[in-house]
Amino acid sequence: MLITDILSRNARTYGSEVALIEREPAKNRRVEITWQEFDDQSNRIAQALIEKGIKKGDRVVQLMMNCIEWLPIYFGILRTGAMVVPLNFRFVAKTIKNCVQTSGAVVVIFGEEFIERMDSIVTDLQTEVGTYLFVGPEEKRPEYAESCLELMNRHPAENPQCEISILDEAALYFTSGTTGTPKATLLTHRNLEFACYAENRHHQQTHEDNFLCLPPLYHTGAKMHWFGNFIVGARAVIMKGIDPVWIMEAISEEKITVVWLLVPWALDILFAIENDDVVLQDYNLDQWRLMHIGAQPVPPSLIREWMKHFPKHQYDTNYGLTESSGPGCVHLGMENMHKVGAIGVPGFDWEIRIIGGDGSPVQRGEPGELAVKGPGVMKAYYGNPEATSEVLVDGWLLTGDIVRKDKDGFIWLVDRKKDVIITGGENIYPVEIEDFLQTHPAIQDVAVIGLHSLRLGEISAAIVQTKTGQELSKKAIDDFCEVLPRYKRPRKIIFGDVPRNPTGKIEKPKLREIYAGSSESFKI
């Protein structure tokens, strides 16, 4: 079933019930829409786009911060048979321009936060983009853009009934770019449908659940996790702004049952509890049943600490890629708390292989590259057959992640293939060192990268971000690391901030540019 048809079904079945709630605590603002209003708004934007000449196969860029309009616009684009192209809100103007040109988009829908960036590139895009739709107050609307809301209101809330097949191309998701230039991942309507079933199978959402959406909606992770609620007509809360107190207030007041967190946000909540900024007894949290994490390696120490404060919580780790339609090709499973630290087992309807450099399977327990196969595998990198052929082999998606399988069949993430540090012929997997250093009580965040060494090829360097008010010396970290094998101990300690992208992944290219690009070769 097309996800646009699932929306229609929800409107028929639960039309008067609340579908989406937007909370903006900084402005003490709360708005909501029903499933019928959600469906109507999607129909109106679809009708408006069709009037503008949008047809099946066209590309429409969506550049918006999280808001209650985001999902109706997304579904409206899909209803035309066009491909929706959600863009990262952190992209600079040059990257936005490149993404628009790569996708061949003819319409750009953007929010008020992007006016300055769009102003700087609109002339460069005049031969590609014919229509700009602005989502924001009329007094801020640029002259080159039309009001999206006004355009929608001029059209009927009638489904355009465009002919769309489950195998048709649906969306272009640009990768986060943590390993280089973003590539356009082409997903089909089948990919999106499958994400709904897989997510619901993993976390068993019912119509009574309520999902708190914190991550950016342009990313597959946030939306695909919400899909588990969406397929059963369960409500969701879209939060504008991330703060431990705001999160707890939303969970308490909206009776949230499911929360997907990134590691930094989970850590912030624990720090807030530790510092008495959040007093759990002040909130109604009994209905909160599931906390799950994805998008990055999860330190086991974090989950152990979490369960001290929330002993009744179900927990799951979710592993996925944009190229696998978001989360869930591997997941821990709510029943497997005894294996916290592993990324888990193959997700619903997924197969996995762990292979060596020659493509053959490795021995159990040995590290190798994770390959996955299932209905969520992308169709291609749009317009990039060379990059596609590098990662799609006989239906298998090569993830670029190094993993190992233990004796019980659980998969453990070792590191990104491109992040492996080779020092004196030994492979060092930064995630192992990062997980270890995260257990130090004075460390808030840490990233390990390789720096060039004349003698060893590379050495490992740890960028350490200490907790507020804590002091930590290089010697203290060196002493802490003495339990590690000598070759795994960081050769250089750097105190500084650890940058992460909106999905929580450490921005290692940025760190390499700062520390490796400007450093001299080490003689060790």
Read off the pLDDT of residues 320-341 as tens digits, 9 standing for 90 and up. Answer: 889 999 888 999 999 998 898 8
What's the confidence (pLDDT) of residue 334? 92
Q: What is the pLDDT of residue 509?
A: 78
Q: Which domain holds residue 165?
A: 3-16+29-188
- Across the range 73-84, mean pLDDT stands at 98
How many domains does one find in the chain?
2
For the cut 70, the answer to whether the pLDDT of residue 425 exceeds it is no
Least confident of 86-90, 104-108, 365-369, 419-423: 419-423
The per-residue pLDDT for 177 is 47
Half-sphere exposure of 23 (CA within 13 A, CB side): 22
Residues of 180-204 as b/e, b for ≥16 C-beta within 10 angstroms? eebbbbbbbbbbbbbbbbbbbebbe
Q: How far is CA 84 from CA 60, 100, 223, 259, in A?
A: 5, 11, 13, 26
Provide the 3-class DSSP secondary structure of residue 46.
helix
| Residue 203 in domain | no
Instruction: Please check the confidence at residue 224 and state whether its pLDDT lies above 60.
Output: yes
Structure tokens of 413?
Answer: 């993430």
Weakest-pLDDT range from 150-159, 232-241, 415-424: 415-424
Q: Is residue 286, in this structure, part of any structural domain at all?
A: no
Whether residue 317 lies inside any domain: the answer is no
The CB density around residue 308, as the number of other CB atoms within 10 Å, is 10
CATH of the domain at 500: 3.30.300.30
Q: Say if 104 falls within a structural domain.
A: yes
Cα–Cα distances (Å) from 53 to 45, 48, 161, 272, 369, in that order, read: 13, 9, 16, 51, 45
Is 135 a residue whose pLDDT tops 80? yes
Least-confidence region, from 139-143, 311-315, 381-385, 499-503: 499-503
Write down which residue in 188, 214, 246 finishes a domain. 188
Kindly state whether residue 234 falls inside one of the protein's structural domains. Answer: no
In a domain, 369, yes or no: no
- 396 sits in the region (left: phi over 0; alpha: psi -120 to 50; else beta) called beta
Choose the final residue of a domain: 141, 163, 188: 188
Going by C-beta distance under 8 Å and a sequence separation of 6 or more, which residues neighbour residue 47?
Answer: 155, 156, 158, 160
Q: What is the pLDDT of residues 368-393, one digit of tens each?
A: 999 999 999 999 999 999 999 999 99
Residue with tokens 């300055």: 116
Cβ contact 360:429 at 8 Å: no
> Which residues does residue 330 pair with via DSSP β-bridges, in sequence order?
319, 346
Q: Domain for residue 69, yes or no? A: yes
Strand order of the sheet with strand 345-346?
29-34, 18-24, 235-239, 210-213, 258-261, 290-294, 314-321, 326-331, 345-346
Copy the structure tokens of residue 185. 């991942």
CATH code at 36? Answer: 3.40.50.12780
222-226, 253-257, 350-354: which range is least confident on average?
Answer: 222-226
* Burial class of residue 442 in the structure, from the number of CB atoms within 10 Å of its CB (0-12 exposed, 13-18 middle, 19+ buried): middle
Among 101-105, 155-159, 472-476, which is the least confidently predicted range?
472-476
Give the separation between CA 507 and CA 509, rounded to whole angstroms: 6
Last residue of a domain, one of 168, 188, 208: 188
Decide if pLDDT at 519 tops 60: no
Q: Which residues pair with 380 in a beta bridge?
A: 186
Assigned token pair, 510:
């940025």
Q: Is residue 119 part of a domain?
A: yes
Secondary structure (DSSP) of 167-192 = TSEEEEEE---TTSS--EEEEEHHHH
